[in-house]
A and B are shown apart, each in its own frame.
Chain A
Amino acid sequence: MDRAEILRFDHVSYIYEEEEASAVKAVDDLSFSVKEGEFLAVLGHNGSGKSTVARLANGLYLPTEGKVFAADMDTADPACEIDVRKTVGVVFQNPDNQIVASIVEEDVAFGPENLNLPQKEIRRRVDAALDAVGMTEYAGHETHRLSGGQKQRVAIAGIIAMRPRCLVLDEPTAMLDPRGRADVMKTLISLNRDLGIAVVLITHFMDEAAGADRVLLMKNGRRAALETPDRIFSEPGRLTACGLELPDAAKLCDCLRKRGVKVPPEVYREEQLLAYLFKRLPER
Chain B
Amino acid sequence: MAQMRIDKISYRYGHGTPFEIAALRDVSFEIGEGELIGVIGHTGSGKSTLMQMLNALLKPDSGTVYLNGADIHKDKTSVYRARFQVGLCFQYPEYQLFGETCAEDIAFGPRNMGLPEEEVKARTERAADFVRLDRALLQRSPFDLSGGQKRRCAVAGVLAMQPEILILDEPTAGLDPAGRDAMISLIRAYRQNTGATVIFVTHSMEIAAAVSERILVMDHGTLALDGTPAEVFSQAELLEKCGLAPPFSARVLSALRARGYDAPDAFAPEETADALCALLRAEEKQTVC
Contacts and interface: CB of A to CB of B under 8 A. Distances in A.
B272 A284 contact: no
B69 interface: no
Contact of A270 (B43, B176, B178, B248): B248
A280 interface: yes
Given A46-B147, A179-B42, A252-B252, A259 B174 contact: no
Interface in B239-289: 243-245, 247-249, 252, 255-256, 259-261, 269-270, 272-274, 276-277, 279-280, 283
A281 B269 contact: no
Given A46-B147, A178-B42, A179-B243, A273 B252 contact: yes
B4 to A, nearest CB: 25
B243 A47 contact: no
Given A47-B147, A177-B203, A178-B205, A255 B244 contact: no
B176 A45 contact: yes
A256 B277 contact: yes
B83 to A, nearest CB: 27
B148 interface: yes
A147 B43 contact: yes
B203 A178 contact: yes
Contacts of A47: 146-148
B44 interface: yes
Interface string A233-270: 00000000001110011011011101111000000001
Contacts of A270: 248
B261 A284 contact: yes
A255 B252 contact: no
Contacts of A180: 43
A255 B148 contact: no
B142 to A, nearest CB: 15
A167 B175 CA distance: 23
A172 to B, nearest CB: 12
Given A46-B179, A177-B203, A280 B283 contact: yes
A255 B270 contact: yes
Contacts, number: 106
Contacts of A260: 277
A169 to B, nearest CB: 15
A283 B19 CA distance: 50
Contacts of B148: 46-47
A223 interface: no
A281 B173 contact: no
A245 B277 CA distance: 23
Contacts of A85: none
A255 B178 contact: no
Interface residues of B, number: 40
A259 B173 contact: no
Contacts of A256: 273, 276-277
A148 interface: yes
B277 A261 contact: yes
A178 B244 contact: yes
Nearest to A45: B176
Nearest to A260: B277
B206 interface: yes
A42 to B, nearest CB: 13
B116 interface: no
A175 interface: yes
Contacts of A147: 43-44
**Listed residue (B19, B146, B148, B252) with the most chain A CB atoms within 10 angstroms of its CB:** B252
Contacts of B259: 278, 281-284
A175 to B, nearest CB: 7
Nearest to B151: A46
A261 B284 CA distance: 12
A283 B245 CA distance: 23
Interface in B92-130: 92
Given A177-B43, A274-B252, 12 more contacts: A47-B148, A176-B43, A177-B243, A178-B244, A179-B43, A204-B177, A248-B247, A252-B252, A255-B272, A261-B280, A277-B255, A277-B276
Interface of B: 19, 42-44, 92, 146-148, 173-179, 203, 205-206, 243-245, 247-249, 252, 255-256, 259-261, 269-270, 272-274, 276-277, 279-280, 283
Interface of A: 44-47, 93, 145, 147-149, 171, 174-180, 204, 243-245, 248-249, 251-252, 254-256, 258-261, 270, 273-274, 277-278, 280-284
